[in-house]
Amino acid sequence: MSRIIVITSGKGGVGKSTVTANLGMAIARLGHTVALVDADFGLRNLDLLLGLENRVVYTALEVLAGQCRLEQALVKDKRQEGVVLLPAAQSRSKESVSPDQMKKLVGALTQKYDYVVIDSPAGIEMGFQNAIAAAQEALIVTTPEIAAVRDADRVVGLLEAQGIKRIHLIVNRLKPGMVQAEQMMSVQDVQELLAIPLIGVVPDDERVIVSSNRGEPLVLAENISLPAMAINNIARRLDGEKVPFLDLMADYDSFLNRIRRLFRG
């Protein structure tokens, strides 16, 4: 029984596509087959982040129009076995696909892949509706910012209305130093508001930007970084394993800080 997971956020720029690309790779490294679906028609990015842009020949739109077979449109990743990408069309608008068509596409993918991971566009309009149409579970990506959390809250409501019950939270781009100094919302603050189970916290890291620009997902890098470790843990938790959360605050939890906190009460 394959799982269909949509990755969404409401707000743009919080790292949906980056999380999708890396999580897809991480799941595949656990030995599963994964189909990544870019549902961001008109503003596709997932192929870029995966470094597969120049290998896209057909897109989901051509499959739906019957101009090619589904297998022809799927782009295999040469670096990680078991991962394929179904690219979105770049030249069309979000209205060019209907939720029913999306269900059909994803349904066909579940025949062959253990995981179907859908990268949703920002917003809550047609593109979002398409992305969540076929999903059974959802991962909400948010940054510890008030606007992102507010949008995430709205999206959780929409997902629940759609009947998607399994919703997990990923807090992205956390800066432990700033949290320590109480300049940034903490994971607890975010969770308190959203009240959905946490599945992972990804720390902010400049290497993420470098890897995105190069089209080489961070989890594939030889020397593993903290964000990559966090993503790998998310993949294992998705898979049902119990993995303790990384202690991101460790570096900042000095004796002095502890005393300061004590006095602040």
Task: Using CB under 8 A, list all residues that contact another protein.
Answer: 42-43, 53-58, 61, 65, 67-69, 72, 90-93, 95-96
Residue 179: phi and psi, rounded to 5, are -65, -45
Q: How far is the CB of 117 from another protein (least distance, A)?
A: 23
Closest CA to 238 of 114, 52, 76: 114
In the complex, the smallest distance separating the C-beta of residue 68 from another protein, rounded to whole angstroms, is 6
Which residue, 68 or 224, is less far from another protein as judged by CB? Answer: 68
Question: Cβ closer to another protein: 68 or 147?
Answer: 68
Length of the chain: 265
E strand spans, the chain: 3-8, 34-38, 75-76, 83-86, 115-119, 137-142, 166-174, 198-203
CB of 125 to another protein, least distance (A): 14
* CB of 50 or CB of 190, closer to another protein: 50
What are 172's strand-pairing partners?
202
Question: Given the complex with another protein, which of 4 and 61 has the nearer CB atom?
Answer: 61
Supply the minimum distance, in Å, between the C-beta of residue 86 and another protein: 15
DSSP-derived secondary structure letter, 181: T
Give min distance, CB of 29 to another protein, in A: 23
Give the full edge-to-edge strand order of the sheet including 83-86: 75-76, 83-86, 34-38, 115-119, 3-8, 137-142, 166-174, 198-203
Q: Which is nearer to another protein, 58 or 115 (CB)?
A: 58
